[in-house]
Amino acid sequence: MMSMTGFGSGEAVAGPVTVTVELRSVNHRFLDASIKLPGSLQFLEIDLRNRLKDGIARGRVTCAATATIDPAASAPRLEPGRLDAALALLLDAAARVERQTGEPQDVTLDHLLRVPDLFTPAQAELSRDDLQAAFFTAFDRALAGLQAMKRQEGSKLVTEMQDRLAAIADGLVEVRALAPRAAEEAHRKLSERLMELIGSEVDPQRLAQEAAFLADKANINEECERLAIHLQHARDDLAAGGQVAKRLNFLLQEMHREVNTMGAKTNLMEITQLVIGMKDEVESLREQVQNLE
């Protein structure tokens, strides 16, 4: 199981060109890819988006790439033909000036360096196929690093979620143990209430009827059963792994509903305190599941 948060980088060399790819991923409900490519790699954007869809289920992913040329391969080169032509022109011009003025004219290196286009930058000869191969080699390495970090983060997250599910299960055990006391407390409060209202001894038969009605209304056995089932399904999903975030989110919504109902149906303080603790754990789980891919 993977988290949606991670980072990976990769590098590959093709001739004089070094391609570097960085991938960053953070939480997002769907797959949202932001791609930053230099001009020399823009033709790869469509293929890159397809690769991202194949490798990442969801998350806000940023892919940034660079393509740098080895300085030695891109050093300017002297054009011998242009040098010869420039030197011949300068010497001819110097000879003409000398004939007309009688003053000796020297042609220096400084004069030659002022001639435009004497040097030309080297062009890295690299085909699109070679550049594409280098880019996707770097991308695959970056993706492997990203997924490794996401798996590591996901493993930690699953462990923490399992601990929280265990805490809810422990709370449920205590709630079940306290449920009979809740019925007794309801009976006692009803008796006291009726005594206050009529000011005399309560008819036992009437009290029994009212107590039975109230006890049925306050019964939380069904909620406990459903919560136990949801807990087991959540444990099974975490153990199975894969892309189960949506299913877990649904189960947590149902858990929240059952725990809320428990709290609403009983006034026993001990159960109320347990319900508050379980609700806190469910809320934490709902936040954590948003980090799972």
Q: Going from the N-terminus, what domains does the chain have, and what CATH number goes with each? A: 6-72+125-151 (3.30.230.40), 77-120 (no CATH), 153-289 (1.20.140)
Q: Is the pLDDT of residue 48 over 90?
A: yes
Residue-wise pLDDT tens digits, 49-97: 999 999 998 899 999 999 988 766 555 666 677 778 888 888 888 888 8
**Under DSSP, is residue 202 helix (H, G, I), strand (E, B) or coil?**
coil
Q: Where are the alpha helices (DSSP H) in the chain?
A: 45-55, 80-101, 109-113, 128-198, 204-217, 221-240, 245-265, 269-289
250 vs 175: CA distance, rounded Å:
23
Collapsing DSSP to helix, strand or coil, 23 comes out as strand
- The angle, 0 to 180 degrees and rounded to 10, between the axes of the packed helices 245-265 and 221-240 is 160
Return the number of other C-beta atoms located less than 10 Å from residue 135's C-beta: 25
pTM: 0.68
125 pLDDT above the threshold of 60: no
* Contact of 266 with 138, CB cutoff 8 Å: no
In this prediction, what percent of the chain has a pLDDT beyond 90?
52
- What local confidence, expressed as pLDDT, does residue 122 receive? 54
Other beta carbons within 10 angstroms of residue 257's beta carbon come to 15
